[in-house]
Amino acid sequence: MTPRLTFVLVSYGGRDLVVRCLALLAEHTTVPYRVIVADSASPDGTGEWLEQNLTGATVLRMPENLGFGAGGNLAVRHADTELLCFLNADIEVTAGWLEPLLSFLDNRPEVAAVSPVLLNPDGSVQEAGSVIGGDGWCRAVGADDAALFTREVDYASAACLVVRRAAFLEAGGFSPDYEIAYFEDVDLALSLRARGWQTWVEPASRVVHLRHGSSSSERATELMRLNHATFQRRWPDELARRVPVVGLDEHPYRKFWLRDQLAPYRVLLIDDRVPQPDRGRGDGRTLAVVNAWRAADPRARVTFFAVSPDRAEQHAPALEARGIEVVWGVEDAARWSVERAGLYDVIVAFRPHNFVGYGEPIARAQPQAVRVYDAEALFHRRAEQQFGAATEVQERRAFAVQADVLRQQEVAAFAWADVAVCVSEEEAHWARRIAPAAQVRVACYPATVPRSVPGRAGRHGIVFFGGFDATPKTPNEFAVLALAGEVLPPLRERHPDLGLRVVGADPSPAVLDLDGMDGITVVGKVPDPQPVLSTALVHVVPMRYGAGVKIKFVDSMAAGLPFVTTPVGGEGLHLGWTARHLIGSSPAELVELCHRLLTDEPLWTDVQAALLDICRTEFSPAAFGAAMRDVLAACAVPPAVPV
């Protein structure tokens, strides 16, 4: 196989380091490659030794110490591969280090250069890209600055940097204006950007940098000052747009501004927890909104602020790999925002309690930001429903207080918002009435209908689908207990072999106790609910309390699975004529509706076809994408590409 990559090393002494670097390269690099070593007149005979002993590599010897830039340019003139990897001899590559970098470049044709995260020998982060200050000095971004996530950077060190050879040549290579070391790679990044190219860091790749210098500290300081002056002279307009690096620790907001200044806009999304796709409840929709902001412009800075650290370490990496910064475990939200004062262009708060506890305090230090309240549901309505159904005085009083508090919070959230997002027109109507100054938009949830949806044949039993959070007295627990106690028994009298599968993350103790009773199987969490939904005959949820559009039913539609529920469960689903076959107010009505769907094959088939059509028109990814483009436009940040 013809190599697509050439490793370029410039040596000045350090023979043992070069040999070890190349040995680790051979051990941990699985694709074909070439190696070119340019020796810059090593005074200790390293060049002669490499020329005589190094096999499988090209060794070029310069007559005098011309430095890293000249050596790199010389080596590149002898390279003929698509990609180059500049590599210091004091870099130790590790298993699996190269594949993420190659994959990144293959998927991002606009990117010229990508770097791994550089680690110290103790495993701590040394550099994850760097920022360039207006004073011409640079500062590495390390683990103390932010979570590691895939992102565009001002520049990345050429200690280990994979570059497209065509882009390197287009930029003119390393500038000859510099002395033998320092600032050549900084200059290269700006030269690439001036020609429309980007430089990124990919944390999925990590290497160790020993930082073995070949100059004395005094000589290094002298070279750095000389090249710093050259850098300032070459890039005055670029530096004039930036704050200085000096004082970043005293003024941390400058550090984040420098880190994110390449982004066309910066959006902060605040919700309960890092979205957990396997959990159900509102996580699926939250993830869809996050995805829409991410897809709108790959260069935008999208930051997800999770109030709870619940399983954050497990689910954050998937977002970080897509260039989303994930923050969790912040105890003082107001102070956190002050450290990033003036950074965000848009702040999105999901749900009323997040608005009160985090959205509003964070927004105080971001007066320039467009404020967005994403309601997901009108939660006070659920408390009102629970108040109406409660029979004990103490319980009714508690629900009345909860409903009043939630209503005040939601009124305040909509009034606070410049842009408000609801999941249905019914809820949007209420929002427009209580917050006439807000721009109210509707964006529900996307569900993809598979190319092939199973018909009735091969399906069996009924299913309940919804998350529980392992806590008692949630709406889903009430629904399952009502299904098991009031709907399933009379239904099994007509269908003795009928089985019920209960699917959803973190079943509560009361739900777990149902397992094995009267044909009930508590499945619990599944990685993907579609295989279960596509094998059931009817999805049954006797919902007594709820708000917003119930995503579980949209997923049911996409699987071609008819569902039976209450008027609360059917809100906002655009059911049309199918509602009379799917919506019942009492257990007896739900039993009758289920029985008809289980026995009337033509009716089941007609309802399935209608639900699939509704899903394709009202809840498709295209419909959701159009709705989110409308939201972004209302925030004055139109997407660069279709969502």
Task: Note the pLDDT tens digit of each residue in 41-62.
Answer: 999 998 899 989 988 899 999 9
Beta strands in 483-585 (DSSP E): 500-503, 520-524, 538-541, 563-565
Burial 343-367 (b: 16+ CB within 10 A, else e): bbbbbbbbbbbbbbebbbbbbebbe
- Please determine whether the domains at 5-255 and 266-446+624-634 fall in the same fold group of CATH: no
Domain ranges of the chain: 5-255, 266-446+624-634, 462-619
Query: Residue 213 has what pLDDT?
Result: 56
DSSP state, 422?
E
Residue 35 and residue 56 in contact, taking contact as beta carbons nearer than 8 Å: yes
**For 266-446+624-634, CATH number?**
3.40.50.2000
| Model confidence pLDDT, tens digit, residues 280-298 | 567 889 999 999 999 999 8
Per-residue pLDDT, averaged over 235-259, amounts to 91
Residue 5 and residue 31 in contact, taking contact as beta carbons nearer than 8 Å: yes
Neighbours of 613 (CB within 10 A): 15
Which among 493, 491, 443 is positioned nearest to 596, based on CA atoms?
A: 491
- Distance between CA atoms of 261 and 556, rounded to whole angstroms? 43
643 — pLDDT class (breaks 50, 70, 90) = very low
18: CB partners within 8 A, 6+ apart: 9, 11, 37, 46, 50, 89
Query: Residue 146 has what pLDDT?
Result: 59
When the pLDDT of each residue in the chain is averaged and rounded to a whole number, the result is: 92
Query: Residue 549 has what pLDDT?
Result: 67
Helix/strand number for the chain, H first, E second: 26, 24
Which among 367, 248, 374, 270 is positioned nearest to 326, based on CA atoms?
A: 270
- Distance between CA atoms of 386 and 392, rounded to whole angstroms? 11
The alpha carbon dihedral of 152, 155, 160, 166 has a sign of positive
| DSSP secondary structure string for all residues of 276-337 | -TTT-TTHHHHHHHHHHHHHH-TTSEEEEEESS-TTHHHHHHHHHTTTEEEEE--S-HHHHH
**For 5-255, CATH number?**
3.90.550.10
DSSP state, 128?
S
Query: Residue 486 has what pLDDT?
Result: 95
| Model confidence pLDDT, tens digit, residues 317-326 | 999 999 999 9
Query: Residue 456 has what pLDDT?
Result: 95
Of 18-32, 55-69, 112-126, 546-560, the least confident: 546-560
| Model confidence pLDDT, tens digit, residues 563-619 | 999 998 998 899 999 999 999 999 999 999 999 999 999 999 999 999 999 999 999
Per-residue pLDDT, averaged over 27-39, amounts to 95
The alpha carbon dihedral of 415, 353, 355, 325 has a sign of negative
Query: Residue 585 has what pLDDT?
Result: 94
Structure tokens, 608: 């399935």
pTM, two decimals, is 0.90
- Distance between CA atoms of 174 and 188, rounded to whole angstroms? 6
- Distance between CA atoms of 567 and 550, rounded to whole angstroms? 12
272 — pLDDT class (breaks 50, 70, 90) = very high
Query: Residue 472 has what pLDDT?
Result: 73
Query: Residue 640 has what pLDDT?
Result: 66
| φ/ψ bin of 267: left (φ > 0), alpha (ψ from -120 to 50), beta (otherwise) | beta
Structure tokens, 301: 């800075």
| Model confidence pLDDT, tens digit, residues 59-118 | 999 999 999 999 999 999 999 999 999 999 999 999 999 999 999 999 999 999 999 999
399 — pLDDT class (breaks 50, 70, 90) = confident
**For 462-619, CATH number?**
3.40.50.2000
- Distance between CA atoms of 21 and 9, rounded to whole angstroms? 10
C-alpha distances in angstroms, 293 versus 147, 150, 155, 556, 640?
19, 16, 25, 26, 11
